[in-house]
Amino acid sequence: MAGFGTRCVHAGTIRDRERKGINSPIYTSTSFEFIDRDEPIYPRYLNTPNEEAVSTKIAALEETESALVLSSGMAAISSTLFTFLGKNDHIAFQKGLYGGTSNFILQELRKFGIEYTIADSQETEDLEKAIRPNTRLVFIESPSNPLLNITDIRSVAEMASAKGILTVMDNTFASPVNQQPVLLGIDIVIHSATKYLSGHSDICAGAVAANADLIRQIRSTALNFGGSLNGITLYLLERSLKTLDVRVRRINETAGRLAESLSGHNGIKQVNYPGLPGHPGYETACRQMSGFGGMLSFEVKGIDCLTYQKNLKLIRPSVSLGGVESIVSSPAHTSHRHLGKEGRKKEGIPENLIRMSVGVEDAVDLMADLDQAFA
Ligand SMILES: Cc1ncc(COP(=O)(O)O)c(C=O)c1O
């Protein structure tokens, strides 16, 4: 198999046999001639040429047989869960999931008679305790938001597979550059492709990668929910993926340097980054990640986190993550606002926590900005 960087550039590219251009052509049609095929080509069927090009690339990066690209990360999550869960089925979730996933669980699953348990932590023993005779899926996310907790992926996969339960993992924070969950035994990998996969804060998309049989099943549900993308957006995602390896490697390096510098800063109480030896998940992260990613969080002291964010000059306070530009947010005011003060305390999320998505700028400029904002 070609190296990861080579797959980023070349896997799935549509050969332009007519004009010999080196990039995949963009197919804008929603109607394709239907002769000698079992199934029509149609965007919502997730089978257009640009859908196939980008899903082939994502499958090559996650080292799965197959993949699907959908209109958002939540479309990927909801389509996957509704494929395998019906009335009276049960799903076990780890604690500490992305807020949109938590809202989906709380607001939607019961309407369909789907039972769920959110485990007491991301530890395998707690997830095992959450399993019931009707459990069909176990869902994990690592590193998690915003504390960067680490789930032991192989141990969860082994525990669930011994019981014949499928495992689903949200790999958005790590990206396939740093972590390939299927190689650790996970059945289905999900991404918000809005983040690192697209990487420029200009595309909303999602992806699911798994073996061909699982993707066939997810596709047949997903096309009923209708979360497809157009050829232009798919092409932009394909283009972005060509630089995924270089972007994320650069981001890993910068985030590691910032985490180290921030750890020694007297305006900061605590830095959460899985690449720091003091992080509780450090050893597990070393076993399962080839890089520690671009997400970190830190608790500021002596200054209110909103004032701190306003003082930043280069780093913008905004939501989302995974772009080439560094951004910060305050979980207490954004992703975890709905929990309230007490809820956040229970989740271990300090009120003055800042979450940072590190971009590709120069580390010295980022550090200077983070430092001057205390003044
Ligand atoms: C870890 C994680 N998973 C899933 C999602 C949902 O993705 P989208 O906003 O593309 O639906 C997000 C969005 O922030 C996320 O951070």
**What tokens were used for 215?**
């993707």
Tens-place pLDDT, residues 154-211:
999 999 999 999 999 999 999 999 999 999 999 999 999 999 999 999 999 999 999 9
Q: Decide: 99 in ligand 1 pocket, CB within 6 A.
A: no
Read off the amino acid at residue 264.
G
Instruction: Please state, in angstroms and as integers, the Cα–Cα distance from residue 12 to each residue in 45, 110, 159, 204, 238, following that order.
Output: 18, 39, 34, 20, 9
Tell me, in angstroms, the distance from the centre of ligand 1 to residue 321's CA. 9
Q: Which CATH number does the domain 245-372 belong to among 1.10.730.10, 3.20.20.70, 3.90.1150.10, 3.40.50.300?
A: 3.90.1150.10
Q: Decide: 72 in ligand 1 pocket, CB within 6 A.
A: yes
Strand partners, 268: 300
**What tokens were used for 5?**
């960087």
Tell me, in angstroms, the distance from the centre of ligand 1 to residue 363's CA. 26
Ligand 1 binding pocket mutation candidate from 69, 74, 97, 141 (most atoms within 8 A of CB): 74
Q: Is the pLDDT of residue 68 over 90?
A: yes
Q: Is the pLDDT of residue 15 over 90?
A: yes
- How crowded is residue 60: how many other Cβ atoms within 10 Å of its Cβ? 22
74 Cα nearest atom in ligand 1: 11
Q: Decide: 204 in ligand 1 pocket, CB within 6 A.
A: yes
For tokens 């980023």, the residue is 8
Q: Decide: 98 in ligand 1 pocket, CB within 6 A.
A: yes
Task: Name the pLDDT band for 36 (thresholds 50, 70, 90).
Answer: confident
Mean pLDDT, rounded, of the chain: 97
Give φ, ψ of 118 to 5 degrees. -100, 120
Q: Decide: 197 in ligand 1 pocket, CB within 6 A.
A: no
Task: Say whether pTM exceeds 0.95.
Answer: yes
Would you state the pLDDT for residue 116?
98
Read off the amino acid at residue 130.
A
Q: Decide: 237 in ligand 1 pocket, CB within 6 A.
A: no
Tell me, in angstroms, the distance from the centre of ligand 1 to residue 198's CA. 12
| DSSP H or E stretch at residue 366 | helix 363-372
Tell me, in angstroms, the distance from the centre of ligand 1 to residue 159's CA. 26
Strand partners, 170: 141, 190
Please check whether the domain covering 4-241 is classified as CATH 3.40.640.10. yes
Q: What number is the average pLDDT over the span 125-143?
A: 98
- Residues 6 or more apart whose CB falls under 8 angstroms from that of 114 comprise 81, 85, 86, 87, 89, 90, 91
Would you state the pLDDT for residue 339?
83
Q: Decide: 183 in ligand 1 pocket, CB within 6 A.
A: no
Q: Is the pLDDT of residue 338 over 90?
A: no
335 Cα nearest atom in ligand 1: 14
Give φ, ψ of 345 to 5 degrees. -60, -45
Q: Decide: 170 in ligand 1 pocket, CB within 6 A.
A: yes
204 Cα nearest atom in ligand 1: 10
Are 83 and 227 in contact, with CB atoms under 8 Å apart?
no
Annotated domain spans of the chain: 4-241, 245-372
